[in-house]
Amino acid sequence: MAAPSAGSQSALQPKEQMAADRGRRMLRGCGMHPDHQEALKKNRVVLAKELLLSELLEHLLERDIITLEMREHIQAKTGSFGQNVELLNLLPKRGPQAFDAFCEALHA
């Protein structure tokens, strides 16, 4: 097989770049926006101390942000602080809609 010419190498680079860009877009679409992650991080201690989980978890379950198994896992933690921390650890991994659903649940 012949070695690729200089012209064919340059044609591969844009395709590779497009694939890399598509991968980055997919990751952004799956996770929480970095600004929202930062807001949760900055308010983590206050949230961990003050969240009242019962209605909050039901709202997040209703919006498909968490599953029944996740709710059970959170509720299995000892004490409200531990349960709140578990939810705060989980939220950033639950997609781009998780932050808005969380904020709506806080206002409900």
> Where residue 108 falls among pLDDT bands split at 50, 70, 90?
confident
Q: How far is CA 5 from CA 15, 57, 70, 90, in A?
A: 16, 59, 53, 49
| Residue tagged 């659903």 (tokens) | 101
pLDDT digits (tens, 9 = 90+) for 16-74: 555 544 444 444 456 899 999 999 999 999 999 999 999 999 999 999 999 999 999 99
The residue among 80, 59, 81, 57 whose CA lies nearest residue 69 is 57
Integer Cα distance of 76 and 35 in angstroms: 29
The residue among 63, 61, 52 whose CA lies nearest residue 97 is 63
